[in-house]
Amino acid sequence: MESEELNAEKQQLIERLGVHIEKKDNIPPLAARIVSTLILTGKKGYTFDEFVANLQASKSTISTHLNNLQHQKTITYYTVCGDRKKYFVMNPNHILIHMGETLDTWEKEKQLHVAIMKYKEQINHNNPENEDLHFDLEFHLEYLQYLEQASESLKKIREKLSAKTNNE
Note the pLDDT tens digit of each residue in 29-84.
999 999 999 999 988 999 999 999 999 999 999 999 999 999 999 999 999 999 99
- Amino acid sitting at position 10: K
Longest CA span, the chain: 82
Query: What dotted CATH number matches 3-90?
Result: 1.10.10.10
pLDDT for res 131: 79
Cβ count within 10 A of residue 60: 8
What Rg do the C-alpha atoms of the chain give, in angstroms?
23
pLDDT confidence bin for 134, thresholds 50/70/90? confident
Whole-model pTM: value is 0.76
Q: Is the model's pLDDT at 116 over the cut of 90? A: yes
pLDDT confidence bin for 164, thresholds 50/70/90? confident
